[in-house]
């Protein structure tokens, strides 16, 4: 089963990377599949540790999907890394096996620590819609603009019906990003 998370990794110098990413979830083992050209892959290859953060704050997914954002974080308990302050819970993991076959690596990790900060409230329909919009925003270079536009229009209806202020703000951030990407492609 794929669970949407925010993966935090650190390079050898201590620079932190926050990356929204679906991971193959397991209680003792989590599989991470980053593309080879990403900072996440380079950091995991170099340091062999990460933190898999679970959050219900869709703004983190929205901002993290479209920009290299630094979010508030605290030091991890066991691995050299950080826990997202907005995390409801997290898993600190160590790499057990790394297969770098293109285009995506397959990195099998072992859970070495679990933490819980607060109850996960879950996702209403608007949060799911924003999460899907964030994924679409990362694919503006892969999918036709009309297809993305149609999906955004469908998702916006859900946000309009069921969102709170945070979800509306996150959807607006993504909509502006996709609009700018579309305009840049036509310029």
73 vs 81: CA distance, rounded Å: 10
- Domains 2-116 and 125-186 equal at CATH topology level: no
Residue 121, helix vs strand vs coil: coil
Closest CA to 98 of 83, 87, 109, 112: 109
* CATH T-level fold of 2-116: Pnp Oxidase; Chain A (2.30.110)
Q: Residue 35: how many CB atoms within 10 A of its CB? A: 11
Angle value at C-alpha 24, between 136 and 3, nearest 5 degrees = 55
Q: Which two tokens stand for residue 99?
A: 């297969």
Smallest Cα–Cα separation from 159: which of 62, 37, 43, 49? Answer: 62
Question: Where do runs of H (alpha helix) occur along 33-124?
Answer: 39-47, 58-66
What confidence score (pLDDT) does residue 121 get?
80
Overall size of the chain counted in residues: 187
Q: pLDDT (tens digit, 9 = 90+) per residue, 69-81?
A: 999 999 999 999 9
Average per-residue pLDDT for the chain: 95
Residue 51 pLDDT greater than 90, yes or no: yes
Q: Identify the weakest region by mean pLDDT among 54-58, 136-140, 174-178, 181-185.
A: 181-185
Is the model's pLDDT at 123 over the cut of 90?
no
Per-residue pLDDT of 127-164, as tens digits, reads 999 999 999 999 998 899 999 999 999 999 999 999 99
Topology of the domain comprising 125-186: Methane Monooxygenase Hydroxylase; Chain G, domain 1 (1.20.58)
| pLDDT of 186 over the 80 cut | no
Residue 116 has pLDDT above 80, yes or no: yes
Domain boundaries, the chain: 2-116, 125-186
Q: What is the mean predicted confidence (pLDDT) over 24-40?
A: 97
Residue 5 pLDDT: 97
Distance in angstroms (rounded) separating the CA atoms of residues 156 and 172? 9
Using pLDDT thresholds of 50, 70 and 90, give the confidence band for residue 93. Answer: very high
Alpha helix ranges (H) inside 24-164: 39-47, 58-66, 125-137, 145-162
What pLDDT band is residue 33 in, cutting at 50, 70 and 90?
very high
């Amino acid at each position: 089963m794929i669970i949407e998370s925010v993966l935090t990794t650190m390079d050898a110098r201590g620079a932190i990377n926050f990356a929204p990413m679906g991971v193959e979830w397991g209680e003792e083992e989590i599989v991470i599949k980053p593309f080879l050209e990403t900072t996440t892959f380079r950091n995991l290859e170099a340091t062999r540790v990460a933190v898999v953060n679970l959050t219900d704050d869709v703004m983190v997914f929205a901002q993290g999907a479209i920009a290299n954002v630094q979010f508030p974080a605290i030091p991890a308990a066991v691995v050299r890394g950080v826990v997202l302050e907005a995390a409801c819970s997290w898993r600190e993991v160590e790499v057990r096996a790394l297969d770098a076959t293109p285009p995506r690596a397959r990195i099998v990790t072992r859970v070495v620590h679990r933490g819980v900060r607060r109850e996960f409230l879950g996702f209403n329909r608007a949060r799911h819609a924003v999460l899907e919009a964030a994924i679409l925003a990362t694919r503006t270079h892969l999918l036709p603009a009309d297809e993305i536009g149609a999906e955004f229009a469908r998702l916006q209806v859900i946000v309009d019906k069921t969102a709170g202020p945070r979800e509306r703000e996150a959807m607006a951030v993504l909509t502006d990003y996709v609009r700018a990407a579309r305009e840049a492609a036509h310029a």
